[in-house]
Amino acid sequence: MTDEDDDAPSTLHPPLAGTRRVRLDIAYDGTDFNGWGRQPNLRTVQGEIEQALASILRRYGPPPTLVVAGRTDAGVHATGQVAHLDLTDAQAGSLLRPDRGRNRGGERDAGTALARRLNGILSQRGDIVISRGSLAPEGFDARFGALWRRYSYRLADQTAVRNPLHRVNTTWHHSRLDGEAMDAAAASLCGLHDFAAYCKPRDGATTIRTLQSFTWERDVDGVLTARLQADAFCHSMVRALVGACVSVGAGKLAPGDPVALREAAERTNAFMVMPARGLTLTQVGYPDDLRLAARAAETRQRRGPAHRAASPNESVEPARIANAPGVS
């Protein structure tokens, strides 16, 4: 499992005939989960949601499974996770039936009704919330249709106010850090590159990524927050990039070292991969509805073992993405 894993087997997920695809927007506190992905005898985010789905739809055939935009590791949080699932006509219809209070909200959209029903079950523990459920547009694929993923990382150094209410989503660091040096190091890492030095290797998976933006900012309480956006992140990439910048801020690495390590393209122990608790998946962006299917097919092809470095012209300008119509 990883804090950001987009290198699972490259399989598109077209909806089956006679089904309706639903998009779920999901938030969760990852503290007590063994990551996103379903695992036997372990509590995971996917496992909890799919168990709730099985309960809600138990009379209407095999329950649907979830396809997610980015698999998160144990302890990693999300405020903007996205997943999809496919409902049969019978399952969708059951959510909208008014008898016996099944559709107490009076929804006419199976996605909205499903989100309400899921939250009714998940609220018993309270660490998963379905922020929104909606019928997905044609061609939508939560994983392969994504243009970018955004993460944030909260870090309280020696000078920051340490609020115990934020202990589950903030990493505490024992020394004073140079935030400006960290921000400069982060900016130098952006672009289309092979990030093998910052990724745990996986057989047949590429480590070539476009890091579209990476910044550090200190808030009024002195807490340092990193914000990263990329087309996709490979195994442990976010926490490794954060760790390299922390080493620069602590004076353990020179400002140019993170780029030199990246260019060496070999896994290194020159910095620490940061703990999971400070990391949150905040948003996933998608193209407008007319380009969804094409984007999913293109991404699948680029994520295959034969993937090679694209030209710099293929990188995506973050400002254009953030302002593009239909991006969520």
Catalytic residue among 25, 29, 73, 231: 73
Q: Which of 56, 38, 68 is nearest to 119 (CA)?
A: 56
Q: Which of 253, 310, 284 is nearest to 144 (CA)?
A: 284
Query: Strand 279-285 to strand 191-194: parallel, antiparallel, or no bridges (unpaired)?
Result: unpaired
* 73 a catalytic residue: yes
Q: Which of 201, 214, 276, 208 is nearest to 241 (CA)?
A: 214
Distance from CA of residue 128 to its chain's centroid?
15
CA dist 19 → 63, 85, 86, 138, 143 (Å): 12, 10, 6, 12, 19
d(CA 146, CA 292): 8
Crossing angle between the packed helical segments 237-249 and 257-264, to the nearest 10 degrees: 140
The three-state secondary structure class of 154 is: strand
d(CA 210, CA 312): 9
Q: What are the structure tokens assigned to 109, written together?
A: 């959209």
Q: What sign results for the dihedral spanned by CA atoms 91, 140, 74, 130?
A: negative
Torsion angle of alpha carbons 141, 144, 150, 155, nearest 10°?
110
Asked if residues 279 and 239 have their Cβ atoms less than 8 Å apart, the reply is yes
Torsion angle of alpha carbons 307, 308, 309, 315, nearest 10°?
-30
State the SS3 of 53-96: HHHHCCCCCCCCCCEECCECCCCCEEEEEEEEEEEEHHHHHHHH
Active site residues: 73
